Structure 1
Amino acid sequence: MPTDPRPATPRPTRTANAKGQAFKQERALRTRRLLLDAAAEAFADKGFPGVTILDIAELADMTKGAVYFHFANKEALALALADEFYERLAHLIDTAQKDSSTPLNAVTTILTRTATAFRDDKTIQAGARLQVERAYIDAALPTPYTAFTTTLTDILTQAHQTGQLRPTCDPHTLGRVLTSAFFGAQHISWILNNRTDLPERINDILRTTLHPNQT
């Protein structure tokens, strides 16, 4: 029996059925993404206590039933957003370190890029507000600020070991100070100016603490 000499053509991956409808799993993932984006906007703008499931459903242009199909309650949405908040921060920090030539430059890049994210990214804004409002959320949210402080301290320790900091500078103290200054500045900027001036405030902090010769 003769064989066909032509190479077999791989079948294309199907993403929809014969009617052009996306498979359920992909449709569910898109729906979940839309709900998380809507929840981020709602929590960032109104705060956890002031948001209802109906608010989130209306922002996503869905029914309350669609929300409850993916998330058991408002707390589940808050937990999912908090997890994504920390994932985005971790990715931002990792990318900033890879893009930096020295440990001290990495700290500067981390803080400036994080400031921009706090200004522009609704998920980051929602995560920050959920940190502040954790007492109102009946769920075990991750402990805030500790990982950020540890990361800065580790990088500042490298900077100290390579002679980029003053010999008398304590990286652990500086890490705590920078974390406090950053999150304090973002809160003040949020209250006074809706974070529009946050990058400028962070640059002021960096010039004063890490780059005093530039002031």
Structure 2
Amino acid sequence: MPEPQTAAPFQVRPIATRRGPDPRQDRSARTRLLVLTAAAELFAARGFRHTSMTDVADRVGMTKGAVYFHFPTKEALAVAVVERYYAHWPLLLQQATAEERGPLETTARLLAGAAAALRDDVVVQAGARLQLERPRTDAELPTPYVDLTELLAALLVRAEQAGELHREVSPYAAARSLVAAFFGTQHISDVLHERAHLAERWSETAELMFRAIRAG
């Protein structure tokens, strides 16, 4: 992995797939968002394989043809949901950076914001599930975790340069460990409690993780 010097803006990956028309009117954009949100609710609850375009149409109260006008395939719907999932990360980074804390605290706040989003936002929940189901879907989705790991590594390199990171800790190893701990925590919270206590469980894990990597 090349050594990043700064935390560059998180890139939302364009995903090549057949899409519906580009919405140019407010009404079309609102309808498209309604369809996408309904699909996200179903993907989050049932997964890709057990969600059909008819299910989405029924949930949003539209004909199946109207749904197909905005999203020509179920794969296109899944891609749109995952793209919105990725679009949350730069927003979370912007919010964490706006508080003008040190890079290590920015990293902690970014992950805390992600935990809240996974607990509360159905599109984020659906995107996370669809990423896990990549081998079982027909949609071409990006490899999960890679971009987030690189983003955290960039922040932790800055933390190392600022003297905030423990001298024996590698920024890259710490980034990989934080990503593994974060998504492991959210998965267990989802399985046991439907993420109801995710923020609290991640706070416990984060306290241990950041205590271990912070300069003493």
- TM-score after normalising by structure 1: 0.85
Corresponding letter in the other structure for 2:184: G
| Equivalent residue, structure 2, for 1:136 | 136
Partner Cα separation in structure 2 for residue 168 and residue 154 of structure 1: 17
Aligned length: 190
Partner Cα separation in structure 1 for residue 100 and residue 187 of structure 2: 27
- Structure 1 residue runs without a partner (length 5+): 1-23
Partner Cα separation in structure 2 for residue 186 and residue 97 of structure 1: 23
Report the alpha carbon displacement of residue 54 of structure 1 after superposing the two structures with TM.
Answer: 0.9
Matches within 5 A, 1:148-163: 148-163=148-163
Report the alpha carbon displacement of residue 27 of structure 1 after superposing the two structures with TM.
Answer: 1.6
Report the alpha carbon displacement of residue 194 of structure 1 after superposing the two structures with TM.
Answer: 0.3
Identical counterparts, % of pairs: 44
Partner Cα separation in structure 2 for residue 103 and residue 200 of structure 1: 22
Runs of 4 or more off by more than 3 Å in structure 1?
Answer: none
Report the alpha carbon displacement of residue 179 of structure 1 after superposing the two structures with TM.
Answer: 0.2
| Equivalent residue, structure 2, for 1:61 | 61
Partner Cα separation in structure 2 for residue 25 and residue 98 of structure 1: 32
Secondary structure at the residue paired with 1:210? Answer: helix
Whether the aligned pair in 2 keeps the contact of 1:35 and 1:67 (CA below 8 Å) is yes
- Structure 2 residue runs without a partner (length 5+): 1-23
Whether the aligned pair in 2 keeps the contact of 1:100 and 1:109 (CA below 8 Å) is no
Report the alpha carbon displacement of residue 168 of structure 1 after superposing the two structures with TM.
Answer: 1.0
| Equivalent residue, structure 2, for 1:102 | 102
Partner Cα separation in structure 2 for residue 89 and residue 109 of structure 1: 12
| Equivalent residue, structure 2, for 1:78 | 78
Corresponding letter in the other structure for 2:127: G
The structure whose RCO (Cα within 8 Å, separation 6+) is larger is: 2
Matches within 5 A, 1:3-22: none
| Equivalent residue, structure 2, for 1:197 | 197
More deviation, 200-209/59-68: 200-209
| Equivalent residue, structure 2, for 1:17 | none
Partner Cα separation in structure 1 for residue 204 and residue 165 of structure 2: 18
Secondary structure at the residue paired with 2:41? Answer: helix
Partner Cα separation in structure 2 for residue 44 and residue 99 of structure 1: 31
Partner Cα separation in structure 1 for residue 136 and residue 94 of structure 2: 31
Partner Cα separation in structure 2 for residue 163 and residue 189 of structure 1: 33
Report the alpha carbon displacement of residue 88 of structure 1 after superposing the two structures with TM.
Answer: 1.1
Secondary structure at the residue paired with 1:123? Answer: helix
| Equivalent residue, structure 2, for 1:16 | none
Partner Cα separation in structure 1 for residue 110 and residue 100 of structure 2: 9
